[in-house]
């Protein structure tokens, strides 16, 4: 995980509740990303942030929200509007958003909503 | 049709075998190609990173890119049980901010 911490590792919530997933990095990378991973579907981009106080929607942003108040932190809130929130959520960082360096991932949070 | 296609497997091989993992893609603008390894309940870790066409070798791992065929491969020599994982290919265009991932191939190396 190389300096990217996601917590908690497992999270359980009741339907209708909002839940916030934490992602902290000490790599001093500018860009941070949230991906969702479902069996057989690979990784899908939810939101990304290139710099502090700025973020953009990815391919599946509906039902999610983010903030980027500090360079080190990029929390993801899964709202009650997300229809199928149960999934494995991965946070990633990149040295510079527009550059061609690869992504580095945290170890994920598995969210189960019942 | 998905932008990146990857056989989900599982691919089962005996220890010591040479493993070939592949992805095809449709976007000719992809320039950067990556292979990630993901163990169960962990995040993906970067294995190989290549630019444009050609080969890159790192220990037991070799990555190949054939842009004319829109086809990339990862070869693992002398495979070990510890190589058992899901392998994800990923690619991006020049200067793009996000990657496009394949769905992953699950590899099992039998001792």
- Per-position pLDDT tens, chain B of length 111: 789 999 888 999 999 999 999 999 999 999 999 999 999 989 999 999 998 888 999 999 999 999 999 999 999 999 999 999 999 999 988 877 678 999 999 999 999
Q: Do B101 and A42 touch (CB under 8 A)?
A: yes
Q: Which residues pair with B54 in a beta bridge?
A: B65
Nearest CB to A40 within list B8, B31, B95:
B8
Region A59-74: mean pLDDT is 96
Cα of A30 to nearest chain B Cα, Å: 11
Q: Counting beta carbons within 10 angstroms of the beta carbon of residue A17, is it exposed (0 to 12), middle (13 to 18) or buried (19 or more)?
A: exposed
Q: Could you give the CA distance from residue A91 to residue B101 in angstroms, rounded to a whole number?
A: 15
Q: Which residue has the tokens 């992805």?
A: B23
- Best to test chain B binding among A4, A37, A55 (most B CBs inside 10 Å): A37
Q: Which of B63, B62, B35, B65 is nearest to A103 (CA)?
A: B35
pLDDT band at residue A1, thresholds of 50, 70 and 90? very low
Length in residues, chain B: 111
- Residue A97 has a pLDDT of 65
DSSP 3-state helix, strand, coil percentages of chain B (rounded to 5)?
A: 5, 55, 40
């Amino acid at each position: 995980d190389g300096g990217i911490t996601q917590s908690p590792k497992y999270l359980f919530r009741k339907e209708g509740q909002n839940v916030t997933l934490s992602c902290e990095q000490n790599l001093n990378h500018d860009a941070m990303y949230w991906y969702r991973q479902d069996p057989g579907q690979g990784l899908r981009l939810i939101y990304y942030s290139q710099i502090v106080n700025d973020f953009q929607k990815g391919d599946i942003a509906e039902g999610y929200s983010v903030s980027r108040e500090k360079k080190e932190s990029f929390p993801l809130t899964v709202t009650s509007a997300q229809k199928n929130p149960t999934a494995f959520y991965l946070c990633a960082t990149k040295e510079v958003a527009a550059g061609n360096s690869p992504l580095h991932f945290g170890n994920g949070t598995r969210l189960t909503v019942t | 049709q998905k932008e990146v296609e990857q056989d989900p497997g599982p691919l089962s091989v005996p220890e010591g075998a040479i493993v070939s993992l592949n992805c095809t893609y449709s976007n000719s603008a992809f320039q950067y190609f990556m292979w990630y390894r993901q163990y169960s309940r962990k995040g993906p870790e970067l294995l190989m990173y290549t630019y444009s066409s050609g080969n890159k070798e790192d220990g037991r791992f070799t990555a190949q890119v054939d842009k004319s065929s829109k086809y990339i491969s990862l070869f693992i020599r002398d495979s070990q049980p510890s190589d058992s994982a899901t392998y994800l290919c990923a690619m991006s265009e020049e200067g793009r901010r996000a990657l496009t991932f394949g769905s992953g191939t699950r590899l099992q190396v039998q001792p």
